Every structure is written in C-alpha cells, then in structure tokens.
C-alpha cells in the first residue's frame, strides 16, 4: 500500500492536507481543488513524496502542469439580455492604397486616417444583421456563406477596385447564455483583434486574442486560433472585432467551436451565440490615442493624448486621471463641443 506523505505545489506550497485521496486496486488517486484559477498560460510544478509498505520513501519531482491560455470575461462589463436589441453588428470600414504590413497596430492607425484617405464606400453598410463570414473569392474557410466584401463597401472604389489593404471593424454585444467555458475562433486572411470593454467601440479595450501577421484562412475544426473564454456570470458582453487584409486572398469568419461543431456568431442555429447592435445604456469609450497602443520608437518628448467620447452620460472632466508607468500624471483636460 502507498501512503502519500507530501504534496508540494511550486516547491513551497504544501497542499497535502487539501488533497482528497482515495485508493482502490493498488492505485492511489488524489484530487486538489483551489478557489482561484491558475494564471492563464502558466506552468505549475508538482512534487509528490510517497511512503510504501516496504518502508521506502519515493519522491516524484519536476512534474510540470501546463495551464492553457484562457480569458475571463470581466463581470463588470456584463449587461442584462433585456438591455440589448437589433440583431447584428455595427460596422466601420476603411481602405487605402498604402500597403498594410499585416499588423494590428498599423490597422488601428489606418482607421484613424493616418495612412491615407478612406477609399471604402462608407455609405454601403453602417451595420450588418447577419453573420461574419466574408470572402473575396480566394479564402473560402469553413462556411459556405462567403459574402463578398463589396456588401460592406470594400473593394468597390474604381481608383483601386480590389480588396488589398482593407479593414473592417465590427462592434457588438454578444449574449453568453450560460456560465462556463466557450471556444471562440476567428478564421481570417489576414490578421485580426478581438477585444472587450464596457463599450464595444473602445479602442483601448482588454485584448482577448489576435493575429498580427499575414496568413491564409484555414479549414477544419482546428482552424484558428481557438481562444478559450470563461464566463463566470452569464449575460451580454461588448465585443469588438478588428479585421484586416494586406493583399491577395481576403476572408474572415467569426464563430464558436463546441467539440467538432462550428457555429457562426449570430447564426440562426439555436446553439449560436446571438449578437446585438444596440444597448439601452452605453459607457464612455476611448476613440483615439496618440501614440497608438503598442507603438515603438516614440520620442520621449512626444505628448500622450487620449480622446474619450461620452456614452449616454456626459464624462465629468474633473474625474479624468492618468498614470504613466504606474505613476500619477496630471493631464490637461479639454472638452470639444458642449
């Protein structure tokens, strides 16, 4: 018979007394449950010492546990399902002749007009009631809808007439009906960013996952990347999808995976996560920063500026605060308009 005498987590955390041990048929099983989750993408080291009926003491060390990457939806961003309406997504599009190097940073700059005038036809679609499954005929992916980007006003300008260097920003409120783990996928050609904040239009939201390089769209259940999202409190959460194509094939699909079942967000299927364009209340949001988040080579003399747009309530200028590298910095606050 084997007696477990010591279980150490990460060398010093003695969790022996917290183990639920059972033995049957010469096999000892131990279960450990903790209140807090292990950090996303972390490694945990386990050291177990056992004593045998023969008087031996055996230590098993360097047992490495790998924690998968996951993102927990902040409960403070949650809205009640009754607070949203109008199925679909709000849409903003941009297109330039300037070449997108397939980075999220450049794409954020493009949306702000920093890489040339907008050649997209912004009058075509400011909203989209369907699913996110777009393609320029060269990137089919996992779903057959493959709506052309021209439906968003992209690739239709006679000055350019292709889908190179296009960007689409989709903002929405997605209902996660039950607590638990979801697997979200953006299958795209080329890059993307998915983020969340109290307002889906916020360009300084929490980054959930992204691809900031050129790639082709994939097929199959393992197309991805696949992002684990944990929802502790079911409800509606604001989401922003930023998509870009550098050149050549262009396509984007936004869906969830459950086992081998792939379902587009806002699909009519009963298992689909439903998306909504509007909410009864909206928080203030950051619409512009200078420099852009993630910028490099910025002069230390360059000012830092942030543009905050009102939500359904006016921002109180006296409450605006700023920290730089953790230290409080008094900003100069001005309001445009009334």
Which one of 3.40.50, 1.10.3470, 2.60.120, 3.30.70 gives the CATH number of domain 72-279? Answer: 2.60.120
pLDDT digits (tens, 9 = 90+) for 45-62: 999 998 887 888 889 888
Q: Which residues of 141-170 are buried (b: 16+ CB within 10 A; e: fewer)?
A: bbbeeeeebeebbbbbeeebebbbbbbbbb
Q: Where along the chain do the CATH 2.60.120 domains lie?
A: 72-279
**Average pLDDT, stretch 161-177?**
97
Residue 35 to residue 221: CA distance in whole angstroms: 32
Q: How confident is the model at residue 139 (pLDDT cuts 50, 70, 90)?
A: low
Does an H or E element contain 211, and which? strand 206-211
pLDDT grade for 24, boundaries at 50, 70 and 90: confident
Residue 126 has pLDDT above 70, yes or no: yes
**Alpha carbons 165 and 139: distance in angstroms, whole number:** 15
Share of the chain above pLDDT 70, in %: 99
Give per-residue pLDDT as tens, 232-246: 999 999 999 999 999
> Helices in the chain by DSSP H: which ranges?
104-111
73 CB neighbour count, 10 Å cutoff: 23
Q: What is the pLDDT of residues 187-210, one digit of tens each?
A: 999 999 999 999 999 999 999 999
pLDDT exceeds 60 at position 1: no
């Amino acid at each position: 018979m084997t007696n477990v005498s010591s279980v150490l987590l990460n060398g010093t955390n003695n969790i022996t007394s917290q183990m639920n041990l059972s033995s049957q048929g010469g096999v000892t099983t131990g279960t450990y449950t903790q209140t807090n989750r292990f950090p996303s993408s972390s490694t945990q080291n386990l050291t177990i010492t056992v004593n045998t009926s023969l008087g031996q003491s055996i230590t098993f060390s360097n047992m490495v546990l790998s924690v998968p990457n996951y993102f927990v939806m902040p409960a403070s961003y949650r809205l009640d399902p009754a607070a949203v309406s109008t199925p679909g997504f709000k849409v903003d599009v941009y297109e330039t002749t300037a070449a997108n190097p397939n980075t999220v940073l450049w794409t954020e700059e493009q949306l702000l007009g920093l890489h040339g005038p907008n050649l997209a036809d912004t009058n075509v679609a400011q909203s989209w009631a369907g699913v996110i499954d777009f393609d320029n005929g060269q990137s089919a992916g996992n779903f057959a809808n493959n709506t052309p980007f021209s439906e968003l006003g992209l690739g239709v300008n006679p000055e350019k007439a292709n889908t190179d260097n296009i960007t689409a920003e989709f903002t929405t409120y997605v209902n996660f009906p039950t607590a638990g783990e979801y697997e979200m996928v953006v299958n795209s050609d080329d890059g993307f960013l998915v983020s969340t904040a109290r307002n889906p239009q916020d360009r300084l939201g929490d980054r959930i996952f992204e691809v900031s390089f050129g790639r082709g769209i994939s097929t199959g259940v393992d197309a991805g990347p696949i992002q684990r999202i944990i929802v502790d409190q079911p409800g509606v959460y604001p989401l922003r999808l930023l998509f870009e194509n550098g050149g050549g094939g262009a396509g984007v699909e936004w869906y969830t995976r459950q086992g081998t079942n792939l379902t587009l967000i806002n699909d009519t299927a009963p298992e689909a996560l439903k998306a909504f364009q509007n909410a009864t209340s909206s928080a203030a949001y950051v619409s512009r920063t200078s420099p852009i988040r993630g910028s490099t080579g910025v002069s230390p003399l360059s000012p830092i500026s942030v543009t905050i747009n009102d939500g359904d309530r006016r921002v109180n200028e006296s409450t605006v605060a700023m920290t730089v590298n953790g230290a409080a910095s008094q900003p100069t606050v001005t309001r445009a308009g009334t």
